[in-house]
């Protein structure tokens, strides 16, 4: 099945957050990740699986419930979801990418690339990998690798000079196999939390 063509249903529910053709030519040979068997964004290994940008209709396909396996999502209404989708699309720089199981119309994997525009390094772009999650009943089947490599290659394709992430210690190995490195003296994540 691979990547779907742009289509719309009139009320915009099938509208993509970003152009799906951006996922079409990613060169998985550029990634150090080892896939056994070989899979990619266009050929995810099963004809019922598709890797694509987020759509508004993913509200009904369990996208938020999937994010609930990563962290607290809250009770996001359809209006809130649509508004946030529109804001992300308008401002640009948000590449929320999902894996759908077409047999049951459910989102089973997701990862987000956000792109920061910089003045430094000659007005460069920096990518951040956020909100990576695979549905727990589909884990251990390379989908985590697939979605992370997809958005990491997308970042390269879009011209990011660097891609960064924050993760728990136990996932360091997972990300190292995908090309991420702990840089000596420069690998601390710090947060200031505001109670809302």
Ligand X SMILES: CC(=O)SCCNC(=O)CCNC(=O)[C@H](O)C(C)(C)COP(=O)(O)OP(=O)(O)OC[C@H]1O[C@@H](n2cnc3c(N)ncnc32)[C@H](O)[C@@H]1OP(=O)(O)O
Q: How many Cα neighbours within 13 Å face the side chain of 37?
A: 4
Structure tokens at 62: 């369990």
Please report, for residues 1, 77, 108, the alpha-carbon distance to residue 50 in angstroms, rounded to integers and kept in the order given: 6, 26, 10
* 126 binding ligand X? (CB under 6 A): no
Identify the bridge partners of residue 94 per DSSP, sorted by sequence position.
114
C-beta of 8 vs 136, nearer to ligand X = 136
Site string for ligand X, 86-115 (x = CB under 6 A): ------------------------------
For position 13 contacting ligand X by CB under 6 A, the verdict is: no
Per-residue x/- marks for ligand X, 40-69, CB under 6 A?
-----------------------------x
DSSP 16: B
* Measured CA distances, 9 to 4, 6, 15, 140, 152 (Å): 14, 10, 8, 35, 30
Q: Which of 46, 68, 70, 121 binds ligand X (CB under 6 A)?
A: 70
Q: Which of the ranges 22-30, 73-81, 135-143, 181-189 carries the binding residues for ligand X, by CB under 6 A? A: 135-143
Residue closer to ligand X, measured from CB, 129 or 160 = 129
3-class secondary structure, 159: coil
CB 28 within 8 A of CB 40: yes
User: Hey, which residues between 147 and 176 contact ligand X (CB under 6 A)?
Assistant: 165, 167, 170-171, 173-174
Give residues in contact with ligand X (CB under 6 A).
69-70, 129-134, 139-145, 165, 167, 170-171, 173-174
């Amino acid at each position: 099945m691979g990547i779907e063509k742009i289509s719309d249903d009139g009320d915009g529910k099938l509208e993509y957050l970003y152009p799906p053709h951006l996922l079409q030519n990613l060169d998985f040979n550029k990634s150090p990740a080892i896939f056994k068997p070989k899979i990619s964004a266009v050929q995810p290994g099963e004809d019922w699986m598709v890797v694509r940008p987020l759509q508004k209709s993913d509200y009904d396909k369990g996208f938020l419930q999937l994010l609930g396996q990563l962290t607290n999502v809250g009770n996001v209404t359809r209006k809130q979801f649509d508004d946030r989708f529109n804001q992300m699309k308008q401002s640009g720089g948000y590449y929320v990418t999902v894996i759908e199981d077409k047999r049951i119309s459910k989102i089973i994997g997701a990862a987000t690339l956000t792109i920061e525009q910089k003045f430094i390094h000659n007005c460069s772009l920096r990518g951040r990998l956020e909100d990576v999650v695979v549905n727990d009943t589909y884990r251990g089947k390379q989908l985590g690798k697939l979605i992370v490599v997809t958005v990491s290659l997308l970042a390269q394709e879009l011209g990011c000079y660097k891609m960064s992430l924050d993760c728990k210690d136990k996932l360091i190995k997972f990300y190292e196999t995908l090309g991420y490195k702990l840089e000596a003296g420069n690998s601390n994540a710090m947060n200031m939390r505001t109670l809302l």
